[in-house]
């Protein structure tokens, strides 16, 4: 299970499970990188 992602901007996103990681990453993208949208599979591909 992947629960951590480091955005290229340096923000580290940590979650309890993959569902939460996807949700938190999408929230980060909306707030910090408007116009950048990634789906679940793309987020989990770059997560660790």
pLDDT at residue 7 in the model: 96
- pLDDT on residue 23: 98
CB hemisphere CA count around 44 (13 angstroms):
10
Measure the CA–CA gap between 2 and 12, rounded to whole angstroms. 13
Q: Show pLDDT as tens, one digit a residue, over the chain (48 residues).
A: 999 999 999 999 999 999 999 999 999 999 999 999 999 999 999 999
Q: Is the pTM of this model over 0.85?
A: yes
């Amino acid at each position: 299970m992947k629960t951590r992602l480091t955005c290229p901007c340096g923000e580290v996103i940590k979650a309890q499970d993959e569902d939460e990681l996807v949700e938190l990453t999408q929230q980060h993208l909306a707030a910090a990188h408007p116009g950048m949208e990634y789906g679940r599979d793309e987020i989990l591909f770059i997560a660790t």
